[in-house]
Amino acid sequence: MGEEERLQTLADLNRTKQEISTMLERMPIANRTQAAERRKKELEEKLSRIERAIETFSKKTVYIAL
């Protein structure tokens, strides 16, 4: 993967991470419905996946399987 593409992907991931973090911060502390609890769990899982991807793309060399 080229350096420019890697940096662009990293920037996109960081932007998405910030958006999801903001959505989680705006959620009520006490989730009273199952739908709200499920949504919070989904956002937390997505945030976790994005953080792992950021860790990967933060490395100097990133290989992409074809």
Predicted confidence pLDDT, tens digits, the chain (66 residues): 788 998 999 999 999 999 999 999 998 888 788 888 899 999 999 999 999 999 998 988 877 778
pTM above 0.85, yes or no: no
> Would you give the DSSP letter of residue 61?
-
Query: CA–CA distance from 27 to each of 22, 49, 55, 66 (Å)?
Result: 9, 20, 26, 39
